[in-house]
Amino acid sequence: WDLFSFRFVKPRQYIGLQAPTTECRTIEQALKAMGIEEKMIPTWIPDGYEVEDTEIDYGEDMWYVSLRQTFAKKGEPVQIEYSCFAIENNQGAVHPKDVGEPESYFAGGVQHFTMQENRHWTGVWEQGGFECSIHGYQTREELLRAIDSIYE
């Protein structure tokens, strides 16, 4: 990371994902269709938020997968994004952050990095070959509750 952003930078390996054979409308359906069994989806979203948009995209031969779901309430979105970078030596997504060090948080045996950017909290981690992130929480406590819910 640097002063204003965070990203994972290390070689990534092809993880042998299966292309979905049916249309998937949710992130959960897409992960299941690709043979992903690791827990990666928060089961807790703050009260009053509803699904606003779901995007499921993958490249030819499954070398790239991007799964994104946006929840919204009164113009304050909580964006949940899961990406798989299956090209060797690829750098992960850039996550803007305020000045300061990301805070480390362990849940489910996985290291998560939490950081704040413009009054909203973000969590970033790697799981099952995916770089995962969740954005938009009002407090770090809400973010940690969402992270904990992945592994419950």
Long-range contacts, 96-99 (Cβ 8 Å, 24+): 96/4, 96/5, 97/1, 97/4, 97/5, 97/6, 97/122, 98/4, 99/3, 99/4
Sign of CA dihedral 131, 135, 141, 145: negative
Helix (H, G, I), strand (E, B) or coil at 28: helix
pTM for the model = 0.83
Please give the pLDDT value at position 87: 45
Instruction: Return per-residue pLDDT of the chain as tens, 152 residues.
Output: 555 666 666 655 556 677 777 788 888 888 888 888 888 889 898 888 888 888 888 766 666 677 888 888 876 767 776 555 544 445 667 676 777 888 999 999 999 999 888 888 889 988 877 788 888 888 999 999 999 999 99
Please give the pLDDT value at position 111: 93
